[in-house]
Amino acid sequence: MQILSALDAISPAFSRTKLILFSPFRKGRSWKLAVTAYLSVVGTMFIPYFLIGLFFIPMARDAGGSTAVAILVGVSLGATLIYLVLFYLCSRLGFAFFDIALNRGEFVAPAWRKYGSQSFKWTAFKVVLGTVTMGIIALPLAAWTRHMIMAFSALQLKPGQQPPPELIAAIFASYAAFFLIYLGFGILFLINSLLGNFIVPSLALENTTLTEAFQRLGKLIRNEPGQFTLYAVMKVVLAVTGYVAQMLVFYIVLFIVIIVFALIGLAAGSLLHVLGVSMPVLEIIGAALAVPIYIFLVFYLMFLAIGTVVTFMESYSLYFLGGRYPMLGDLLDRSTPPRPVYPYPPPPPSYYAPPVIHPPQP
């Protein structure tokens, strides 16, 4: 497979997304693969948010004694354990979806069973990385949170009293802090996503060690720093653009489908009302049908839309890395159907007809 630049990999990624999800489109199969893609994103980055609660043990002790501390510790550790199990499942599902995108697979279970050991060591690395990262940022974050809680609690505002300047400053500080927090987590997510794009293929295809996989990534960055940087930038641009586009498509399609169902329901309700069914009964029947239909449409269309964007991003990383990783490129070419070659259309018959010679006029 030829080496593609970060820009050249965009076009074949579109084609492969169409092959995976929409060639042909089957409402069950396509949705299943889209959900698999969506859930694989959940396993990108491990951040044990719930452990932040342990930094509030002093406040819990002051508020409710040992009982409050026991409840806080139990909830924090229990929620973290549940999150850890779900994260492992989604992280392993990421390997399965990599296999599906690479080999154009249609079944999740066989791909799931192929990558037990590979997914475990990669998940363990992400858990350690996420826990260390959370430990670094949790202490100042918890200290700032406690400070803000105490600052807001100390304000004794009376009805009609103008808020003091300290309150306005605290509110602006809160917004600024939330912006920095979201920006920081966004950067961390991008780093983890890039690691997944370049580490997972080596682990999945050759079951390399983490050290060797990272050495390959380092070599790629040293040899092509410009292309790697451009790939990272395009990954953000394409992800944001894809997210905005899928939201627009989702709401447009949802609006059209709701209008169609509403017209059908209105016609059916009018007919039943003519036949003697009372309005209260029609309202109950309409609500009983409309609520589950709406929930089904939202979940079906939303997962399908987001899964399409995730499938495109996965295909984009495959084509960018494929030419730089021969084994990956060969598998990618092997699972891509050749383009049909159409013969040139024959020239018009007039091209073959002998020239018409008119007899001389007398």
Q: What is the pLDDT of residues 267-314, one digit of tens each?
A: 888 887 777 777 787 778 878 888 888 888 888 888 898 999 999 999
How high is the pLDDT of residue 287? 81
More confident residue, 289 or 351: 289
Q: Which residues have C-beta within 8 Å of that of residue 54, sequence separation ≥ 6? A: 72, 73, 76
Q: What percent of the chain has pLDDT over 90?
A: 33
Write down the H helix ranges in the chain: 10-22, 27-42, 57-103, 108-114, 116-154, 165-206, 210-223, 225-274, 279-322, 326-334, 349-352
What lies within 8 Å, CB to CB, of 12 at 6+ separation is 4, 315, 319
Q: Is the pLDDT of residue 183 over 60?
A: yes
Q: Where are the domains of the chain?
A: 10-155+165-336
Could you tell me which residue, 282 or 349, shows the higher pLDDT?
282
Residue of 216, 209, 211 whose CA lies nearest to 118: 209
* pLDDT recorded at residue 339: 65
**Residue 357 pLDDT:** 59
Residue 24 confidence class, pLDDT cut points 50, 70, 90: confident
Q: Tokens for 342?
A: 């159409």
Confidence of residue 235 (pLDDT cuts 50, 70, 90): very high
Q: What is the mean pLDDT of residues 313-341?
A: 86
pLDDT in tens, 208-222: 999 999 999 999 999
pLDDT at 351: 47
| Res. 341: pLDDT tops 60 | no
The sign of the dihedral angle between the CA atoms of 30, 36, 41, 47 is positive
Q: At what angle do helices 165-206 and 326-334 cross, to 10 degrees?
A: 80
CA pair distance 166, 181, nearest whole angstrom: 22
- The whole-angstrom separation of Cα 204 and Cα 121 is 11
Q: Is 354 helix (H, G, I), strand (E, B) or coil?
A: coil
Note the pLDDT of residue 181: 78
Residue 154 has pLDDT above 70, yes or no: no
> Rounded to whole angstroms, how far apart are CA atoms 236 and 244?
12
d(CA 18, CA 76): 43
